[in-house]
Structure 1
């Protein structure tokens, strides 16, 4: 079977070499990475990757959001099977988040060549732009704009910390890679994203492969509590309107609401706080804080939405920052990934993703699913991010099998 032949042609040494080379573009502190989306370091990495693709005899396109598409032709001109992820990193990121999915895809193209396999459908490796969202907001920009091109008009006006717009950065990319042909969204047979787990589940279970059933839904809120700034030493207790105390009194009711609705599956974070005037001798006059609540059940998310305002002071202002319903991946692709894991001869388990991925948006475009490999101690977005080389190889082998199996489908 050509899927097994391709799986056996995957080279762990070559995969590690690709990862090591990519890590030379934008090295960060303590052995980590700082390769921001559409930065000079990102451009240099893309130029290297495009060169590797051309050496493999592949065609490379770009689109209006600077996504790159590397195609290995099939025997027939049919909608392709896609894989890929992103190569931008957090400012203090590791070498695997996103990067592993792209480099494993490239390794699969090498394996196909070495095995002498030409699949029925084309196979494409995609590099999505600005998935991390650490330079420009929002994250998963490239994949969301690909699925819904109308989003890009709004994205182009977003600014980074230095005041450069997404539009300016995209124009610079278009000028830098003007020799690449442009392409718009096309029909796609399936999309598979391989990624490190970024959590501890697989490592704790001592299982080297995970087949991802879907991605949790999320709610992001901002709460603003008003008080009155006043002198810390002269204002009597009964006259104080301390916004920070007001905000803190709402935390336990919110946590109890989340616990009641989600139980052991509770994922609640109070992540961002702003206290004004934030002075040591002045009572806080205004406090804002963020709420991040995630769950796989849309009914739980809806119940949290309905109950949240009752947990807040009467004069608090509640604003929705972001909302995304849970993503369920395609059963027909999940089944292929399960067979792919079995073909490696290693153990696997079903798992749900708690983090966002490009596959979340691709699921609205074509049948989609994901593969996970373990993360040591569950660490990611950190220079200490690490996955055992044998597990990286296992993920790439499962990916190779699945891509060929999907690409042979009618």
Structure 2
């Protein structure tokens, strides 16, 4: 095997037009009139798309497998049949008003690598697999990233199978009903060994597009904490209660919110803070508010910064002692990606003469869970205007192909180790 010529052969075999056709073909499942996609997890359209992907992967010479949470795996055997595989992929489910690329691009890029391997005949020591993870979005069944979570932590399976949507249908019922459609796809256990996992994805933000950069070498997924702030007051008549006699919950909440935004503005460029929901009670036009609840979403790639922001939130609520309280409702620690994989992606971009930058992921991905199971990394391509979870989501086909070539080069390097 000649590593340099193998990489040149596989990247040269990536077919931009074929990739674009696949993106369009997959988007036809659950297509919306506005050009977007509504392909929520474990719906008929989701299962039809999965059947299409199984048949396509087999046409490229791959073996298809599935597991008990519905994840799909398309395996191209390596020269060492017993070696742990190098895996890529993402998810195929979408938001109700989703675009054509979120998740789907990572699946399409992986399948294009399988096609390019079939065309080029490049050999590799380790097997290479494409994974299609179940229910990443979490909009129909909560939580999101259900497939990747169960794969890396099989003890979660029974709880996930019992999870119901708003109509009462459970994950287990949907998988059982669709089972005949995949009777020819053998089951394999959750948690199988993985040598490395690399996920390609659109950035879902404007940073790379604004910088004019083609490839994002993702350092990791920033930590996230959610809070609920509750402020109490006393309901009173809007017309007959003087200023000095009011205990207006909204006025106090507004002062706290102003402090939240000031902390955001004073933070570094990687800090994200959002007040996403504000509920005012009793919600009458002529009653002084007696209670306000608001949520705060805080994100940063460093735990120490998250701690400092939380302390500031506590100070803001303490300034209204007896009337305001802070509750942390969710905490997801920062997840750093493997340095060797980041170096591999960076070198691939350099060899292909593509501009690259290091970037943090502001959104959750299946890679967050795979990073607990094996060395993991991500490749980003730019999103036009930073749009995602939106029918107008778009990335130039040339950028999608560039990311796929970097993925192909990275997978071959990792599969030869």
Query: What band does the TM-score fall into relative to the shorter chain?
Result: over 0.9
Contact preservation (8 Å) 2:61, 2:118: no
| 229 and 152 in structure 1: CA distance in 2 versus 1, 3 angstrom threshold | farther
Quote the offset at 1:67 in angstroms: 1.2
Given candidates 398, 404, 407, the residue that maps to 1:396 is 404
TM-score, normalization by structure 2 = 0.92
Matched ranges for 1:95-244 at <5 A: 95-174=100-179, 176-183=181-188, 184-244=190-250
Matched ranges for 1:74-93 at <5 A: 74-77=78-81, 78-93=83-98
Q: State the distance in 2 between where 1:236 and 1:169 align.
A: 59
Contact preservation (8 Å) 1:28, 1:91: no
Matched ranges for 1:11-410 at <5 A: 11-77=15-81, 78-174=83-179, 176-183=181-188, 184-260=190-266, 262-312=267-317, 313-314=320-321, 315-409=323-417
Q: State the distance in 2 between where 1:172 and 1:232 align.
A: 57
Task: Tell me the secondary structure at the aligned position of residue 76 of structure 1.
Answer: coil
Q: State the distance in 2 between where 1:239 and 1:300 align.
A: 39
Tell me the matched-pair count.
408
| 177 and 287 in structure 1: CA distance in 2 versus 1, 3 angstrom threshold | farther
| 289 and 118 in structure 1: CA distance in 2 versus 1, 3 angstrom threshold | same
Q: State the distance in 2 between where 1:205 and 1:307 align.
A: 32
- What do the CA deviations read for 1:212-238 (whole angstroms, capped 9, x no partner)? 111111111122223344444444444
Q: State the distance in 2 between where 1:88 and 1:330 align.
A: 26
Contact preservation (8 Å) 1:87, 1:98: yes
Contact preservation (8 Å) 1:212, 1:372: yes
Query: Unaligned stretches of 5+ in structure 1?
Result: none
Quote the offset at 1:389 in angstroms: 1.1
Larger mean CA deviation between 240-249 and 31-40 belongs to 240-249
| 304 and 63 in structure 1: CA distance in 2 versus 1, 3 angstrom threshold | same
Query: Unaligned stretches of 5+ in structure 2?
Result: none
| 176 and 231 in structure 1: CA distance in 2 versus 1, 3 angstrom threshold | farther
Q: State the distance in 1 between where 2:170 and 2:370 align.
A: 25
Q: State the distance in 1 between where 2:163 and 2:314 align.
A: 30
Larger mean CA deviation between 187-196 and 140-149 belongs to 140-149
Contact preservation (8 Å) 1:298, 1:325: yes
Cα-Cα RMSD: 1.9
Contact preservation (8 Å) 1:71, 1:124: yes
| 309 and 121 in structure 1: CA distance in 2 versus 1, 3 angstrom threshold | same
Task: Tell me the secondary structure at the aligned position of residue 305 of structure 2.
Answer: helix
Contact preservation (8 Å) 2:222, 2:334: yes
TM-score, normalization by structure 1 = 0.94
Task: Tell me the secondary structure at the aligned position of residue 117 of structure 2.
Answer: helix
Task: Tell me the secondary structure at the aligned position of residue 150 of structure 1.
Answer: helix
Quote the offset at 1:172 in angstroms: 3.2
Q: State the distance in 2 between where 1:126 and 1:275 align.
A: 44
Q: State the distance in 2 between where 1:289 and 1:87 align.
A: 33
Task: Tell me the secondary structure at the aligned position of residue 37 of structure 1.
Answer: coil
Task: Tell me the secondary structure at the aligned position of residue 269 of structure 2.
Answer: helix
- What do the CA deviations read for 1:150-200 (whole angstroms, capped 9, x no partner)? 233333444323333333334334454344222221111100000111111
| 116 and 223 in structure 1: CA distance in 2 versus 1, 3 angstrom threshold | same
